[in-house]
Structure 1
Amino acid sequence: MQGLLSPLAFHTNLFSARAKPCGDGLVFRLHYRVTFALLMACCLLVTATQYIGAPISCLSEEVLPQNVINTYCYIAGTFTMPSTAALRLGWKAAQRRRVVPTYGQEEKRYHNYYMWVPYMLFLQSVSFYLPHWLWKVMQTDKVRGILQGLNYVVVDEEQRRIKEVLMVNYLVFHWGSHTAWACKYVLCESLNLLNVVLQLLVTDSFLSGQFMSYGPRVVRYLRRGAEDDIDPMDQMFPRLTKCTFYRYGAGGSLERYDALCVLSINVVNDKIYLTVWFWYIVLLVLGSLLLLYRLVTLCSPKLRFRLLQARGSKYGADPAIDDVTRQCSYGDWYLLRTLSRNMSAPVFSSVIKQLALQLPRNRTSNEVKV
């Protein structure tokens, strides 16, 4: 199992900013690193039959070859009888819930999603990587080019001063031109949030409208621990199903064979989608709070100053930070904020002090601040 998942290990390192500078935040990395790795691991897991066994095993009459009935039922789908679940709870529970067992064609609930689960998980994992790919195309490694290695903890003193001067010169020369760059990043963050909402809806449709309420129903069932309650995991991902196989007999008549199937794959699927449900909700909440945070920082220069101050105040950079914040647009502030996350506090304070000294002599009067 370790060998199966080892190719995904490099995606889960969220705090590699010092080794490799990046222009995105923690929540952004949760989408294209953690979520991508999680969904790809689930995709590999449901296809690893050497660990979970055959996805389906059907028991039928001996006249039918085992491999034929297994293949047919896996492709054509199986079904359950919802009313029989109430019978397993006992007649008393069935009467209390006013369940009247019925038998008929309209009662069957077909399940044919399980053969498409690996493909769905793979496509969903790719969808979580697309905003990151789009951001990489649009930013063209701007942060890495500006840092020039200043993100490393150990830097030669002389080289550090030279790189600081080059960084300050770049910031002064391009001051006021980073708003479009910052807006592209916020757009990619919005795409992440939109993608989470879309995947919730797509998964709910894929699982016949039962996914949205899946997490709360499982939690409610586990909290009650009642024997007379229907397990939502078994209801949504049944382990024991039926399958009907038809073939022509020797006389040309159509013969019907009923098979009882064990879906061992659903032992994995129910845990996968329970984990995915909770993780999607976490991403939805974090993404919504992040967009609210972006809106607040866009409207509050004072908050922007406080956020930069938290990084450089220990090294006497408060006056310089105040001067820079008063003159910078939202795009310039976001670039400085991103650079501060990739540099040590002393180096960032030194850059801010030099920038504050040079900006008044280089700013023009027609620049528009956001």
Structure 2
Amino acid sequence: MGRQWGPAMRAAEQAGCVVRASRAGLPEAGSWSCSGVILSRSPGLVLCHGGIFTPFLRAGSGALTAAGATFLPGDSCNDDLRLRVQWGPTAASPAGRSERGRPGLCTPQCAGPEPSPPARPRGGPLQPPRPAELLLLLSCPAFRAHFARLFGGQAAEQWRFASGAPDDEASQEEEEDQLRALGWFALLRVQPGEAAAEEDAEGRGATVAVAPLGAVPKGAQLLACGSPFGAFCPDIFLNTLSRGVLSNSVGPLLLTDARCLPGTEGSGVFVAWPPGALVALVAAPLCWKAGEWVGLTLLCAAAPLLRAARAALVCLRPGSEVLAAQLPPEVGAPRSLPLQDPELPWAAAAVLVECGTVWGSGVAVAPRLVVTCRHVAPREAARVLVRSAIPNLRG
């Protein structure tokens, strides 16, 4: 990934974790899991996706779309909710030091009846899952407003943000729950373990750095670090890395072409400079339009989300100002990048071509002259619509 990504990769892997939600005393009821970001190790604060909490909401998923709802207290979920958070080895942990280079152990979920071949060398075994409590569920109002404007109304019939393919057998209720929770995240507090004191002694208690909203320019390289398939076999999938660019943005709603899979909801997306600065969290890893897969990942910017978390903590939990102050602050803007100029030729030349239900991209090569693929604008089309950020290119 290049030398410049070394510090960012280390920061991303140190911040990556997986969160599992289950019902107390009901193992047959199954579990729900997603990726998360460790905001601070002392105290242990984790931000993850809110979709795994919809089965536990006392008032149902409709509470997420209630008028004016921007956050919900932790007791909005049933008392039988049990949370576990797991992350990889740290240099500070005894296991991480003594087991460096030895193979990890597979989790019971993917361990077969016969012993499995040794896994590839890892930096020691995973930390055991730690119990956690739900502090609050929150959303970014600006993200939800932009999402509703872009994908609401009639467009909702053509867009699908479920993790599965359009022909998967998912109930309408499950799909509605996924859409309602798409812009929601959860703030957790992890109970300390035996290695907490050693982690703090070696500087592991520091918070992640957070890039301000708008500081990362379109086209900047991004690094996503999440766990495909959630809590399934974390010794293999935990903190899987994927590179891409910031494809586009509208307020706190960001798009990237970094490949993310189901289960990476809630994972962190980072930039190279400042080293490992957190830019956003994955809101939806896959999306479909008109039955075709779209290779873009939907992100929610981290800075406004954390601002909302601070405000919600102070509102819901009197005396929580100290806890709110432990959330990571925003850092300075990344150093200037060559893609920061908004007048780049390729930015002005790229257009959207729509021909009825057919759509695609095009290149404006001259005033009122656009080149695109023949199947995007068939000869028999009665009307062709060209959209661009440049007003005089509209046709």
For normalisation by structure 2, the TM-score amounts to 0.23
Structure holding more strand per residue:
2
Q: Which structure has more helix as a fraction of its residues?
A: 1
The higher relative CO (CA closer than 8 Å, separation ≥ 6) is in 1
Structure with bigger gyration radius = 1
TM-score, normalised by the number of residues in structure 1:
0.24
